[in-house]
Chain A
């Protein structure tokens, strides 16, 4: 069994592909630094991320793939699914090996699998656009906690930047402990030194941080949500299908 050990970044994965051709070998397993090795090993290769190597691979990919297929790679990487790195490595190798474009060859198992992963991630991205709920803090910043299944927050920033252009906002991923802050000019990725602040864990702003009229608007929204439902047509199954229960925790209208 051949094992590549790399730093678990996308650049690192591209360097792995470089080494695949450089060493004329293909790994059976990709491991992160410090992960325990399996029992039976033939060869363990440590891959160090090198800028010129992964730049060269990316340049080659850009020559061979369309923009949408390149973004598929990004979506796949952000899914953070177990084994996705090996799938991407196989996919990219096929791209380089095949004389014609493999993008639409859905008979190939890896291409089909990646397209399915893309669909899952894209759905989660759309759910984020739907279910982000801002709370206004006392300093005027709009704070929204999210907890997406896949790491899709970076994919939504362009949308929120365009839509909420005249208000400072912070969208924070409470599972992955990072967020994006918009200061009316640009969007920056932020992390907090003290990750144990209550609102970074529960996602709900405390009384002392909340804006004066925020409670009223939350109340208005909850009232509206209840009033708009036609009792004669109750359909809890459809309700849960369109708005899965795992999102309820952070939805204003579903709070007691």
Chain B
């Protein structure tokens, strides 16, 4: 370990930072007496937060940022003139262990550019995970990227050491992927996903017969899509997410607002700012799919192919379907209460439990944690009726709930001269 590693780490972390996933949840791994580390499960532990507000839970790094591919959206593409570096297996293992000992990280998120061929690259990723688990008896979290096009044997071996594996789809539509990354296709992404899923399901059967059979990717798999680099609508993205969530091992789909890294490439849009609001709305829609029992065609359909950027998808659905409201808080089903804007999973559960003891009014709902600013237009409770979405009309409610633009105070004693140029 020396100063050399410092420069390499800088290069490789900068290459890896566009991967979104950083979760260390989904599995519990106890410490085996006298060895290092454990995995706590639950909500996971974030050890630090970068200045862009994203959490740092895992050491997110690439083994190498040398790549044989030339994907237009990727910072590490072959034709980019950036510093390249490669960490040796032992350097990376040492780095992980020493960071972990100082409580900097929960574990390792390892990915890599493709060198020579997918199998060669995958083999080296597996070596790192294997060394950590078998030689250093490391019980922390390991998230391995599966290289598209890697063989089944290597994915199966990786699964024995990793807690979570992921293959990134990146571009939801194959024709757009072909446009930006001519050397890739969807087949090469779905194939490793299938290997992982089959491995997990086989392992599940095995563990029913033999309790001590080694676990295989216990925290399942995740994937990531880039938002805003190509012409896909939110409908395309969410329908694909929904299809992925139907698979038993798919735990998370991440959305990554496209950061214009290769501005010279004319196939890509020239964005000044990553589409952060759209990304946020997609995550909200994702939550509706996973925790609020929404069907994907209720969130987006042919008439509304894109999410509303001004209001969140749940409110947007409620405004499009005023016929379902107002909901009677003291009588309605849990599923219906969950659909009221301003009521989340926690509040909905509390409502269902507490209404057994006494009727609930506005005051109680507020104490429970309901956002009454939104919810008041969509509910009735034990109190006098107020004006709901049906009386105010969806357009009226929408106007009430939109954030009011801040007016800039102008001092009318001051004469303002407009010096802005009118010529373009």
| Residues of chain A contacted by B90 (CB below 8 angstroms) | none
In the assembly, what is the distance between CA of A40 and CA of B101, in Å?
56
Q: Which residues of A contact B3 (CB under 8 A)?
A: 216
Main secondary structure of the interface of A (DSSP, over half): helix
Pair A213/B1 contact, Cβ less than 8 Å: yes
CB of A55 closer than 8 Å to a CB of B: no
Q: How far is the CA of A157 from the CA of B45 in the complex (A)?
A: 16
A53 within 8 A of B: no
Instruction: Tell me the complex Cα distance, A166–B137, Å.
Output: 11
Q: Is the CB of A167 within 8 A of B9?
A: no
Contact, CB under 8 Å: B102 / A230:
no
Are B52 and A230 interface neighbours, CB within 8 A?
A: yes
Query: Are the C-beta atoms of A136 and B102 separated by less than 8 Å?
Result: yes
Cβ–Cβ < 8 Å partners of B31 in chain A:
162-163, 165
User: Beta-carbon contacts of B92-128 to A below 8 Å, as 1s and 0s?
Assistant: 0001001101111000000000000000000000000
Cβ-based interface call for B56 (8 A)? yes
In the complex, A40 Cα to B102 Cα: how many Å?
54
Pairwise interchain contact A131-B37, C-beta atoms closer than 8 A = no
Closest to A224 in B: B13
* Residues B33 and A165 in contact, CB atoms below 8 Å apart: yes
Partner among B45, B52, B61 whose Cβ is within 8 Å of the Cβ of A130: B45
**Interface contact tally, CB-CB below 8 A:** 134
Q: How far is the CB of A15 from chain B (nearest CB, A)?
A: 35
| B-contacting residues, A128-178, CB 8 Å | 129-136, 142, 144, 159, 162-167
Number of contacting residues on A, CB 8 A? 47
Q: Could you say which residues of chain A place their CB within 8 Å of the CB of B33? A: 165
User: Given A163-B38, A223-B6, A229 and B30 touching (CB < 8 A)?
Assistant: no
Please give, as numbers and ranges, the residues of chain B lying within 8 Å of A224 by CB-CB distance.
Answer: 9-10, 13, 59, 61
Minimum CB–CB distance for B227 against chain A, Å = 13
How far does the Cβ of A62 sit from chain B's closest Cβ, in whole Å? 26
Most buried by B among A144, A216, A227, A234: A227
Which residue of chain B lies nearest to A105 when distances are taken between CB atoms in the complex? Answer: B357
Q: Which residue of A lies closest to B137 (CB)?
A: A166
* Chain A residue with the shortest CB-CB distance to B57: A130
Q: Is the CB of A242 within 8 A of B98?
A: no
Q: Are B49 and A132 in contact (CB under 8 A)?
A: no
Q: How far is the CA of A219 from the CA of B154 in the complex (A)?
A: 35
Option from B34, B56, B60, B95 in Cβ contact (under 8 Å) with A220:
B95
A131: B residues at CB distance < 8 A: 47-48
Beta-carbon contact of A221 and B53 below 8 Å:
no
- Between A and B, 27 residue pairs with Cβ closer than 8 Å are A126-B45, A131-B48, A134-B101, A134-B103, A135-B102, A136-B102, A164-B101, A164-B103, A165-B31, A165-B34, A224-B61, A227-B13, A228-B16, A229-B17, A229-B52, A231-B52, A233-B54, A235-B53, A236-B51, A239-B49, A241-B53, A242-B46, A242-B49, A243-B48, A251-B48, A252-B102, A253-B48
B-binding residues in A (CB < 8 A): 126, 129-136, 142, 144, 159, 162-167, 213, 216-217, 219-221, 223-239, 241-243, 251-253
